[in-house]
Amino acid sequence: MPAKGVHVPHGHDIRASGLRLALGDDPRVSVLDGVDFVARAGEATAIIGPSGCGKSTLLDVLAGLLRPDAGHADPGGQVALMPQGDALMPWLTLRENVAMGARLAGAPAPEAVERADAAITALGLAGFGDHYPHALSGGMRQRAALARTMLAGRPTWLLDEPFGALDALTRAGMHDVLRDLRATERPTILLVTHDVAEAVALCDRILVASPRPMRIVDDIRVGGGTPSATVDAVMASLRTAGALA
């Protein structure tokens, strides 16, 4: 169901070229080692790679939170980052947390609350607006974080393992929510996941990342074959990259 008051402007392609970054002091750990890719505007692109390979670091670079040692990151317009974990403010109600997204988009407070309520209803959270995050299930918190991301009105959505902590049924429900959103709005999505089936179910393209230090080692278009053939292709690529060790 489209959510009233949501407007996601069109952005342009996300581009990473030659991104290099080392973190820490002694010794500095190379995390990004020449990361190159283009994620097309209006598409959903997955980045799949093993735990610790540098996926969250890459999103931080694209969001402008970390400066790369070398290379260039163009996020394709203003960014809404949905960080790993729901990152809701525990002292704010669900409605207030979601309204923060609309405030970011410049809506005055009363309108932000109105938009938050519309998004809360659209994402199946009606009746829970006055609840605090601790009183919500993991799935409900992720819905709220997605609602906040959506209301920020930014063309580029960087989603860091948004459904990773959810049980399988709740995750399937969240996939429907994201698919419905994509049917009405066309944000440029970069979705980090370590779930191959999720990437195939939700995305137009899958970029396969090597173990740390990260490089993009494969670029697989979804829809070129059956879903199970695509899963097999991604698994083969991860195996070749040494990501299944």
Ligand X SMILES: Nc1ncnc2c1ncn2[C@@H]1O[C@H](COP(=O)(O)OP(=O)(O)O)[C@@H](O)[C@H]1O
Residues that bind ligand X (CB under 6 A): 23-24, 29, 31, 51-57, 212
Give dist(CA 171, CA 139) in Å, integer. 8
Give the closest residue to 189 by CA, choosing from 35, 72, 14.
Answer: 14
- Kindly state the tokens that stand for 163: 């459904």
Task: Please choose which of Mg ion, ligand X, none residue 31 contacts, taking the beta carbon within 5 to 8 angstroms, the exact cut-off set by kind.
Answer: ligand X
- The residues near 76 (Cβ < 8 Å, ≥ 6 apart) are 11, 12, 13, 14, 15, 39, 41, 155, 156, 188
Among 30, 56, 78, 121, binds Mg ion (CB under 5 A): 56
164 binds Mg ion (CB under 5 A): no
For the CB of residue 87, give the shortest distance to ligand X in the complex, in Å. 15
CB nearer to Mg ion: give 103 or 194: 194
Given a contact cutoff of 8 angstroms between Cβ atoms, the answer to whether 123 and 143 are in contact is yes
> Minimum CB separation from ligand X for residue 54, in Å?
4
**Number of Cβ within a 10 Å radius of residue 96:** 18
Which of 14, 125 has the CB closer to ligand X?
Answer: 14
Nearer to Mg ion, 52 or 242 (CB): 52
The residue among 154 and 212 lying less far from ligand X, judged by its C-beta, is 212
Written as six digits, the tokens of 105 are 């988009």
Q: Give the three-class secondary structure for 177.
A: helix
Q: In terms of CB distance, is 50 or 153 closer to ligand X?
A: 50
Q: Which does 30 bind (CB under 5 to 8 A by kind): Mg ion, ligand X, none?
A: none
Binding site for Mg ion (CB under 5 A): 55-56, 84
